[in-house]
Amino acid sequence: MIGAVLLVGAVTYLVYAGVRETSMYYFKIDEFLARKSELTNEGVRVAGRVRSGSVEKKTTTAGTELRFVLSDFGAVDGVPVHYTGVLPDMFAEGRDVIVEGKYTPEGMLRARSVLTSCPSKYEAEADQPHPGGAG
Amino acid sequence: MTEVGSLTLAVGLVLAAYGTVVALAGGWQQRRDLIASAEHAAFACWGLALIATAALLHALVTHDFNVEYVAAYTSSTLPLNYIIAALWGGQKGSLLFWLLILTSITAVVLLQNRERNRDLMPYVNAVLMAIAVFFFAMLVFITPPFERLAFTPPEGRDLNPLLQNYWMQLHPPSLYLGYVGCAVPFAFAIAALITGKLGDVWIRTTRRWTLFAWFFLSLGNLFGAEWAYLVLGWGGYWAWDPVENAAFLPWLTCTAFLHSVMIQEKKNMLKVWNMVLVILTFLLTIFGTFLTRSGVISSVHSFTQSGLGPFFIGFLALSAAVSLGLLGYRLRLLKSENELDSLISRESAFLFNNLVLVGIAFAVFWGTMFPIISEAVRGVKITVGPPFFNKVNAPLGIVLLFLTGVGPLIAWRRAGWQSFRKNLLPPLLAGLASGVSLAALGMRSLWALTSFSIGVFVLAGIVFEYYRGVRARQAVAGENAAVALLHLIGKNRRRYGGYIIHVGVVMMYFAITGTAVFRQEQQITLSQGQSFELGGYTLRYDGVEQESTPHIAYLRAKVALAQDGRDIDVLKPEKRFYKKPEQPTTEVAIRSTLSGDLYLVLGGFDEDTKLVTLLAYVNPLISFLWYGGLVMALGTAVVMWPAAVPVREPRTVRLRAPEPAVVD
């Protein structure tokens, strides 16, 4: 009995501490834009759309540098994203993506990873693996 | 054919509903005619599901692009094996496939048991048919697989390239067999609750089915991991994505159940707990099926919302309410006759094992659902990523591994110092010695040291058990060691097969530890002829080559691999461009050895500068994950192998191969 209580306590603590240390806000782009002023230097995940015509890519021996604007789904408003690294296969202009990273004081999202979501014609399945994303 | 398919589904829905009601009535009034009629309905449902599946396969194979499903998931250039796999490649087809497995399993269960367990069977049939009603209803009303388009497109949109992979043929069927298999013990449990026959008949009857489900759940998860490893190109095999978690959750509770039933069989304890685990496992399989289809959690897997959500939620809530209601109603009858004698005993080791497994399941569930929970509570979606799951589960996993070693060695009821010294001390010392040696060899990670030494402790305990069993047989029967070993396993498959499964588990822990702690990675951009080093390998980029087929265009980077100054291999990681869905994918190149994999990804090729970006990973010990899985499969086969003689062995076996500790 004591052991069981201890164990339940341990699990609760681990979950609690785990959540506190690793949690991250998850916003749709419009929610993010509405409250971005409070989010400076916070880790965030933002889901939005890559604005058409905004992608700049430069490959040097230092790696591939990518800049684009993550815009809302009507492509009216957006936030610039800066990312260095390998692009997921499905990345393209007009695609829905999830950017994970930090919102800098200069008003830019410095991405640690960019995940692409499935094109909407495609239904998700248990058997469908994790598409792309250098996580 | 598709009209036939739609029709069979509609008829199936009616028959399944009829079967459910009539089976319940027949059981209630003890009317053989009604019970038999419900059984016939179940067999008919099986036949109908077969016809519907055949109709969909026919449409797929004949490229009937007028059928929405065929146009959405195949194309004229898709190879036949993937056309067949497209049956479970999309929402509608996969639900039909689920139903086919369910009705097949129902038929087999009925054939096996209708003469043997007359009291339980009407209710077992009713439960399984009720589940079938749900799936038939979805296929008829929500996701009709034979839906036709208003026009016939000249070409299909093709199967998602990520699914065009060898493991697509094995992973989903395994997982579904596992999921659906869990319905069998659930149905028996509900039947036991309804009839009040709460002894361990239902547990003994479903033991093989539970193992069957567990086996396929294990394989399903493992195949999924292998697939993710090969296809996703991030060097890992498990990302704690909601969809992966959905498949992992029922595996955890099912594993817990497989262990705790032993306590019920031996000690008549934990009856309520076992009921809870069976019910939970079944609900989690439905939850898993739902999670991947609902768009409730925005996983990178599931982005489309489908109208299935409310129905699944409804079905889940109904199943939970009915089963927990029944459980509450019978709670008094389920009172244990025995109490835990001591904290230091096999019972309590098993109990802890159960608590840890359920604890892990809880943590995984919590982490998966956290965005929803936080949104409901605080109005903001907050996610936890892989670091959460790793942080929480690593310590719990270590405790679990330790209990894996303790459980089989510790005595029932109450273990004293004597038995501790005799049974546990030698393997503990072996584990400790291995830890000290690894530290002396320069291993500094506390995680790795703990995991490896506990793993060695478990292995040593198993070897020790085998050794003692063989010696005892040799002494009594005068057999040579090999014969004695075979007889030992043969006479008590459950115990010695279980040990083999544990060996597989330890191997997998080694792989997980190796990759989690000692993984190396590098991302680098190179021009032709340049090289870099990682994990003792030298990798030189030697240019790209291109190839094209009507289905796929390939771009390969040639990377020469050298070790100790000698060229040993050429790896060719690829980018593929699938022409029908116009979608690129990454195909990794792997050099695999027992000590570890070199995993190479073509990150990108810049046409203008001719620079190539490569990602290289060294994953130590990862092959043990797959070999561990094989060993687990072997152990499960030993456990499940039908006994040649009726099972009456335990008593005699005990005389020859004494229980490891105090005989109870």
**Three-state DSSP class for residue A23:** strand
Query: A24 vs B382: CB contact, 8 Å cut-off?
Result: yes
Q: Mean per-residue pLDDT for B502-522?
A: 95
The whole-angstrom separation of Cα B229 and Cα A34 is 38
Q: Measure CB to CB from residue B303 to each of A14, A17, A117 and give the nearest one.
A: A117
Closest Cα in chain A to B296: A124
Tell whether the model's pLDDT for residue A123 goes beyond 50.
no
The whole-angstrom separation of Cα B31 and Cα B157 is 53
**CB neighbours of residue B552 within 10 Å:** 18
Judge residue B590's burial from the number of C-beta atoms within 10 Å of its C-beta, 0-12 exposed, 13-18 middle, 19 or more buried.
Answer: middle
Q: Measure CB to CB from residue B385 to each of A24, A125, A131 and give the nearest one.
A: A24
Confidence band of B304 (pLDDT split at 50, 70, 90): very low
For residue A14, list chain B residues with Cβ-Cβ distance below 8 A. 363, 391-392, 395-396
Q: Mean per-residue pLDDT for B328-340?
A: 80
Confidence band of B217 (pLDDT split at 50, 70, 90): very high
Q: Measure CB to CB from residue A86 to each of B171, B527, B603 and give the nearest one.
A: B603
Given a contact cutoff of 8 angstroms between Cβ atoms, the answer to whether B298 and A28 are in contact is no
Helix and strand element counts for chain B (H, E): 21, 11
Query: A59 vs B371: CB contact, 8 Å cut-off?
Result: no
What is the pLDDT at residue A10? 87
Judge residue A117's burial from the number of C-beta atoms within 10 Å of its C-beta, 0-12 exposed, 13-18 middle, 19 or more buried.
Answer: buried
Tell whether the model's pLDDT for residue B483 goes beyond 50.
yes
The whole-angstrom separation of Cα B319 and Cα B314 is 9
The whole-angstrom separation of Cα B524 and Cα B603 is 9
Least confident stretch, A110-124, B77-91, B319-333, B491-505: A110-124
Query: A19 vs B388: CB contact, 8 Å cut-off?
Result: yes
For residue B371, list chain A residues with Cβ-Cβ distance below 8 A. 26
To the nearest whole percent, how much of chain B has pLDDT over 90? 66
Backbone angles phi, psi at B196, to 5 degrees: 80, 5
Which residues pair with residue B141 across a beta bridge?
A: none
Closest Cα in chain B to A61: B525
Tell whether the model's pLDDT for residue B403 goes beyond 70.
yes
Closest Cα in chain B to A58: B606
Of B419, B515, B491, B409, which Cα lies nearest the Cα of B458?
B409
pTM of the model: 0.90
Structure tokens at B480: 């040579």
Closest Cα in chain B to A113: B234
Of B579, B553, B558, which Cα lies nearest the Cα of B569?
B558
Give how far A110 is from chain B: nearest CA, Å: 18
Given a contact cutoff of 8 angstroms between Cβ atoms, the answer to whether B517 and B43 are in contact is no
pLDDT tens-digit readout, B168-187: 899 999 999 999 999 999 99
pLDDT tens-digit readout, B145-160: 999 999 999 999 888 8
**Three-state DSSP class for residue B606:** coil
Given a contact cutoff of 8 angstroms between Cβ atoms, the answer to whether B597 and A104 are in contact is no
Q: A interface mutation test: which of B75, B98, B162, B287 has the most A CBs within 10 A?
A: B162
The whole-angstrom separation of Cα B499 and Cα B405 is 10
Q: Residue ranges of the alpha helices (H) in B379-492?
A: 386-406, 417-419, 425-440, 446-477, 481-491
A8 touches chain B (CB under 8 A): yes
Give how far B302 is from chain A: nearest CA, Å: 4
The whole-angstrom separation of Cα B87 and Cα B68 is 13
Backbone angles phi, psi at A51, to 5 degrees: -70, 135
The whole-angstrom separation of Cα B144 and Cα B127 is 24
The whole-angstrom separation of Cα B144 and Cα B137 is 9
Which residue did the predictor score with more confidence, B339 or B146?
A: B146
What is the pLDDT at residue B300? 45
CB pairs under 8 A between A and B: 214
Using CA of residue B9, residue B150, residue B164, residue A51, what is the dihedral sign?
negative
Give how far A1 is from chain B: nearest CA, Å: 8
The DSSP line for B11-54 is HHHHHHHHHHHHHHHHHHHT-HHHHHHHHHHHHHHHHHHHHHHH
pLDDT tens-digit readout, A66-81: 899 998 877 678 899 9
Given a contact cutoff of 8 angstroms between Cβ atoms, the answer to whether B268 and B337 are in contact is yes
The whole-angstrom separation of Cα B574 and Cα B587 is 5
Give how far B460 is from chain A: nearest CA, Å: 26
Given a contact cutoff of 8 angstroms between Cβ atoms, the answer to whether B148 and B64 are in contact is no
Q: B interface mutation test: which of A35, A115, A120, A127 has the most B CBs within 10 A?
A: A127
Q: How far is CA B618 from CA A85, B28, B531, B597, in A?
A: 19, 62, 16, 6
The whole-angstrom separation of Cα A133 and Cα A98 is 9
Give how far A76 is from chain B: nearest CA, Å: 22
Confidence band of A117 (pLDDT split at 50, 70, 90): low
What is the pLDDT at residue B295? 57
Query: B293 vs A25: CB contact, 8 Å cut-off?
Result: no
For residue B245, list chain A residues with Cβ-Cβ distance below 8 A. none
For residue A121, list chain B residues with Cβ-Cβ distance below 8 A. 72, 157
What is the pLDDT at residue B297? 59
Closest Cα in chain A to B298: A117
Residue numbers of A between 41 and 100 with CB closer than 8 Å to B: 45, 47, 59-64, 85-87, 89-90, 96, 98, 100
Query: B160 vs A118: CB contact, 8 Å cut-off?
Result: yes
Structure tokens at B310: 């409310």
Q: Measure CB to CB from residue B615 to each of A2, A27, A86 and give the nearest one.
A: A86
The whole-angstrom separation of Cα A10 and Cα B33 is 55
The whole-angstrom separation of Cα B292 and Cα B288 is 6
Of B49, B91, B95, which Cα lies nearest the Cα of B69?
B91
Give how far A101 is from chain B: nearest CA, Å: 13
Pairing between β-strand A109-116 and β-strand A78-84 as defined by DSSP bridges: parallel
Query: A124 vs B295: CB contact, 8 Å cut-off?
Result: yes
What is the pLDDT at residue A132? 32
Given a contact cutoff of 8 angstroms between Cβ atoms, the answer to whether B129 and B106 are in contact is yes
Helix (H) / strand (E) element for A115: namely: strand A109-116
Tell whether the model's pLDDT for residue B269 goes beyond 60.
yes
Which residues pair with residue B557 across a beta bridge?
A: B544
Query: B227 vs A86: CB contact, 8 Å cut-off?
Result: no
What is the pLDDT at residue A1? 67
Tell whether the model's pLDDT for residue B576 goes beyond 50.
yes
Confidence band of B348 (pLDDT split at 50, 70, 90): confident
Structure tokens at B374: 């936080």
pLDDT tens-digit readout, A16-66: 888 888 888 888 888 888 888 888 888 888 888 899 888 898 887 777 888
What is the pLDDT at residue A92? 84
Structure tokens at B179: 């999921």
Confidence band of B401 (pLDDT split at 50, 70, 90): very high
pLDDT tens-digit readout, B86-128: 999 888 999 999 999 999 999 999 999 988 888 899 999 999 9
Given a contact cutoff of 8 angstroms between Cβ atoms, the answer to whether B488 and B431 are in contact is no
Closest Cα in chain B to A9: B359
Give how far B252 is from chain A: nearest CA, Å: 15
Query: A121 vs B157: CB contact, 8 Å cut-off?
Result: yes
Query: A89 vs B396: CB contact, 8 Å cut-off?
Result: no
Angle at alpha carbon of residue A29, lines to A23 and A33, rounded to 5°: 95
- CB-based contacts of B226, cutoff 8 Å, min separation 6: B167, B237, B626
Q: Mean per-residue pLDDT for B420-441?
A: 91
Of B597, B560, B447, B561, which Cα lies nearest the Cα of B509?
B447
Judge residue A12's burial from the number of C-beta atoms within 10 Å of its C-beta, 0-12 exposed, 13-18 middle, 19 or more buried.
Answer: middle
Q: A interface mutation test: which of B143, B160, B354, B375 has the most A CBs within 10 A?
A: B160
Query: A134 vs B301: CB contact, 8 Å cut-off?
Result: no
Give how far B157 is from chain A: nearest CA, Å: 9
For residue A26, list chain B residues with Cβ-Cβ distance below 8 A. 298, 371, 381-383
Give how far B26 is from chain A: nearest CA, Å: 37
The whole-angstrom separation of Cα B316 and Cα B282 is 10
To the nearest whole percent, how much of chain B has pLDDT over 70? 93
Q: Mean per-residue pLDDT for A5-14?
A: 86
Helix (H) / strand (E) element for B186: namely: helix B183-195
Given a contact cutoff of 8 angstroms between Cβ atoms, the answer to whether B580 and A119 are in contact is no
What is the pLDDT at residue B306? 59
The whole-angstrom separation of Cα A16 and Cα A12 is 6
Tell whether the model's pLDDT for residue A120 goes beyond 80.
no
pLDDT tens-digit readout, B622-664: 999 999 999 999 999 999 887 655 444 444 444 444 444 443 3
The whole-angstrom separation of Cα B72 and Cα B510 is 42
Taken as a whole, chain A contains a residue count of 135
What is the pLDDT at residue B277? 95
Q: Taking all residues of chain B, what is their mean pLDDT, rounded to a whole number?
A: 89
**Three-state DSSP class for residue B136:** helix
Closest Cα in chain A to B306: A123
